[in-house]
Structure 1
Amino acid sequence: MFKKKSILTFLQAQVAAFVGGITDYGLMILLTEVVELHFSFSILISGTVGAIINFSINRFWVFKNQSGYSSHINSQLFKFALVVLGSISLKSFGTLIFQKLFQIDYRIGRLITDLFVSYGFNYPLIKYWVFRVKKNPNVIESN
């Protein structure tokens, strides 16, 4: 059974992903259609911008895992950067596969790929690795 806090955290994370994702997707279209970059390069640039927005929202609103210690945020940034590198790689490769093998427009292929990457890769790693809160062993939880 899900706890209310878990559901709320999941929904907040989806809002963060949506805001970062809309920025990412819109910038990808702009860079590909207007600037005429290949979509793989557009995904790299737009994914980075979307990731910065996503990280900020996750850190300060969703997981509220703020710390006065710079090493703590540095650790989170490093882990998040690794997730983003994996995410961008999966999105670029998935979009390319849909476009080359299945002749699906890159914009549609990207949306399909994003669904799998967001829920199967990004969310679990961000929640359970990047912003994981270590429980205090001295605190006894009650149900």
Structure 2
Amino acid sequence: MSKKKSVFVFAKAQVSAFTGGMLDYVVMILCTELLHIHYTISIAIGGIIGAILNFSLNRYWTFNGNKASELAVGTQLLKFAFVVAGSIALKSSGTYLFTTWLKLDYKITRIMVDIIVSLGFNYVLQKYWVFRKRQVQEMNNPD
């Protein structure tokens, strides 16, 4: 993949992550502030809802150049679910630790943790494991 295309895919992934992340963040705040659910649980609820949007965007738009939509959706969903579970665990625990240690509002520490998890965990696993191009090539050319 050319450097220009890699940058474009990275940018699309960030738009997808931001869109799913905004939905996730709004759901977290609504659950915490209106329904009085502890923010660590609200992070999980928002994470699941945001993940549904993010998966759809990644499968049909972000990684479509990799022909991600040609792969079996069940396989991708299973892999994506593992990534989401890890992401939610990192975000919940990271937000709790930062909120406790830094004595900052959970809404601020959540954004800090989201940036770290999104770039260092989610993007890497989605690009190289969940939606990787080689899976399509292996499916089309089994040896």
Q: One fold, TM greater than 0.5?
A: yes
Q: Which residue of 1 aligns with 2:99?
A: 99
Corresponding residue pairs, total:
135
1:59 equivalent in alignment to 2:62 = no
- Aligned equivalents of 1:136, 1:48: Cα separation in 2: 30
- Aligned equivalents of 2:137, 2:102: Cα separation in 1: 50
1:123 equivalent in alignment to 2:123 = yes
- Aligned equivalents of 1:47, 1:26: Cα separation in 2: 10
Q: Which residue of 2 aligns with 1:44?
A: 44
Q: Deviations over 1:38-89 (max 9, x none)?
A: 001100100000000000000000111112x6xx211100000000000000
TM-score for both structures, normalised by structure 2: 0.89
| One-letter code aligned to 2:24 | D
RCO (CA 8 Å, sep 6+): is it higher in 1 or 2? 2
**Structure with max Cα Rg:** 1
Which one has the bigger helix percentage? 2
**Paired-residue identity, %:** 51
SS in 2 for 1:66: helix
1:35 equivalent in alignment to 2:35 = yes
- Aligned equivalents of 2:98, 2:104: Cα separation in 1: 5
- Which stretch has the larger CA shift, 100-109 or 53-62? 100-109
Q: Note the C-alpha offset of 1:99.
A: 1.2
Q: Which residue of 1 aligns with 2:3?
A: 3
- Aligned equivalents of 1:104, 1:79: Cα separation in 2: 33
Task: Point out 4+ residue stretches in structure 1 off by more than 3 angstroms.
Answer: none
Q: Note the C-alpha offset of 1:104.
A: 1.2
- Aligned equivalents of 2:22, 2:31: Cα separation in 1: 14
Q: Any unmatched runs of 5+ in structure 2? A: none
1:108 equivalent in alignment to 2:108 = yes
Q: Note the C-alpha offset of 1:3.
A: 1.4
Q: Which residue of 1 aligns with 2:79?
A: 79
TM-score for both structures, normalised by structure 1: 0.89
